Amino acid sequence: MCGLDETSRIIIRRIFRRRWVYRGILFSVYPGKVSVVEIAGSIGASRTSVLGALRGVSTGYREEESLEHFGLVMHEKQVVNGRPVTVYSLTRQGFEEKDSTCEGLYGSMPNTLKTIEC
């Protein structure tokens, strides 16, 4: 079964309260694959903050509190106009956590990904 254990959910809720960037990322990544630049522009945050929240950095955003660490987002490399670009998308857990953790903060999003299997 998909999902996070209760300890992970508690940690995620704590970091979401502390830093709005995490919540903004979950909504800006839905429903497609987007780059750090696109995410930063859509939520009005710096690229460094977005990258830190996604993958963790040495200062400010710890790796063990990153969205990738919890399995909420995944990344892949793509080539756009001959240049390598890393794009991010929600995992199933990320979609479910977006709905359960962020509902009430930004409102609910359509549940079009419910049919995705683990």
The token pair that represents 30 in the structure block: 């839905």
Q: What is the pLDDT of residue 117?
A: 29
Q: What is the pLDDT of residue 3?
A: 66
Residue of 17, 30, 19 lying closest to 92 (CA atoms): 30
Report the distance separating Cα 33 and Cα 31, nearest Å.
Answer: 7
Q: What is the pLDDT of residue 23?
A: 81
Averaged over successive runs of 10 residues, the pLDDT of the chain (118 residues) comes to: 73 82 83 89 91 84 89 91 91 79 46 32
Q: What is the pLDDT of residue 103?
A: 53
Q: What are phi and psi of 45, to 5 degrees?
A: -120, 165
